[in-house]
Amino acid sequence: MKSCVTVSLLTEARGGPFILWDGLEKACESAARLGFDAIEIFAPGPDAIDVPELKKLLATHRLSVAAFGTGGGWIRHKLTLTSPSAEVRARGIEFISGMIHLASQFNAAVIVGSMQGRFEGEVSRTDALNHLGSALAKLAEMAGEKRVTILYEHLNRYETNLLNRIEDVLPFVKPLGANVKILADLFHMSIEESNIADAIRAAGSQIGHVHLADSNRRPAGLGHTDFKPVFAALKEIGYGGYVSAEAFPYPNPEAAAEQTIRAIRTLAK
């Protein structure tokens, strides 16, 4: 397993569950100094990234980009793939397509989380899942051409009412093809799963990325989740991808990053 730490560049989300906040230069310096293998970037959009500059920073600090988040499409532009508006859905697909193009330049994945939206009002659950499935199929085709993996993040019930548990996500994701994988966020799973380790075993090779946060969304070890059986299950399925710190920067970014890298090193042994 490889270690990763989240970096948010979106001012509207400041204070949210991302470890590092003060720009890519400082984030890369901190990540490298603490021994992380990669960073995960939460950007306002694809145009917010200076590609040559980021490549230079990564080379200097010997880091990779594990994934780019797309939540900026929801937070800044209110785009979802399940909107009742066909025009908004199309703009959502266009936004994520731009992130796929960006990710292809860094051998990184693209996360679809909050942009999945929810069903409500005139949009039934069936309609919403049809919209979401159709959008992800189109995006998967684009991603396949650029050799990018799409990571579908199933959220907890307070953030979406679509798919909340591994048993619901698996039959939805599998037909989308080999380059659509599940992002297993351990905070969301601590709310929804009766047994996180069993859910991970059930998902097996469909898991493409892991978000690490404790039961209170603070860094691992500062809540009451028992991570030992979770990491045992990840080892059992042969998971060799990234374990990414997506948690509140408690008590501050530096301390949160240090707490997380210690946890990953201990648990991944």
Radius of gyration of the chain (CA): 17
Evaluate whether 159 touches 117 at the Cβ level (below 8 Å). no
Q: Rounded CA gap, 154 and 160, in Å?
A: 8
**pLDDT tens-digit series, residues 232-259:** 999 999 999 999 999 999 999 999 999 9
Q: How far is CA 249 from CA 21, 90, 197, 245, 263, in A?
A: 9, 34, 25, 10, 15
Tell me if residue 258 is catalytic: no
Q: 251 phi and psi, to 5 degrees?
A: -80, -15
Q: Rounded CA gap, 31 and 21, in Å?
A: 12
Evaluate whether 76 touches 45 at the Cβ level (below 8 Å). yes
Tokens read off for 227: 């991570």
CA-nearest of 264, 4, 257 to 109 is: 4
Q: Rounded CA gap, 2 and 242, in Å?
A: 5
- How do the domains of the chain map onto residue ranges? 2-255
Mean pLDDT, range 205-217, rounded to an integer: 98
Catalytic residue among 153, 159, 193, 236: 153
When the pLDDT of each residue in the chain is averaged and rounded to a whole number, the result is 97
CA-nearest of 40, 28, 97, 105 to 68 is: 40
**Residues in Cβ contact with 195 at an 8 Å cutoff, skipping those fewer than 6 apart:** none
Catalytic residue among 40, 192, 193, 246: 246
**pLDDT tens-digit series, residues 131-160:** 999 999 999 999 999 999 999 999 999 999
Q: Rounded CA gap, 213 and 245, in Å?
A: 7
Mean pLDDT, range 73-96, rounded to an integer: 97
Q: Rounded CA gap, 3 and 37, in Å?
A: 5
Residue 260, pLDDT above cutoff 90: yes
CA-nearest of 147, 143, 7, 140 to 64 is: 7
Q: What pLDDT score does 50 carry? A: 97
Tell me if residue 193 is catalytic: no
- Sort residue 204 into left (φ over 0), alpha (ψ -120 to 50) or beta: left
Evaluate whether 257 touches 19 at the Cβ level (below 8 Å). yes
3-state secondary structure of 214: coil
Q: What pLDDT score does 215 carry? A: 96
Q: Rounded CA gap, 194 and 199, in Å?
A: 8
Q: What pLDDT score does 51 carry? A: 98
Tokens read off for 2: 């490889």
Q: What pLDDT score does 151 carry? A: 98
Q: What pLDDT score does 112 carry? A: 98
**pLDDT tens-digit series, residues 153-174:** 999 999 999 999 999 999 999 9
19 confidence band (pLDDT: 50, 70, 90): very high
**pLDDT tens-digit series, residues 93-103:** 999 999 999 99
2-255, what's its fold?
A: TIM Barrel (3.20.20)
15 confidence band (pLDDT: 50, 70, 90): confident
Q: What pLDDT score does 14 carry? A: 87
Give the helix, strand, coil percentages of the chain, each rounded to 5.
50, 15, 35
Residue 269, pLDDT above cutoff 90: no
- Which segment of 13-17, 36-40, 121-125, 216-220 scores lowest on mean pLDDT? 13-17
The pTM of the full predicted model, rounded to 2 decimals, is 0.97
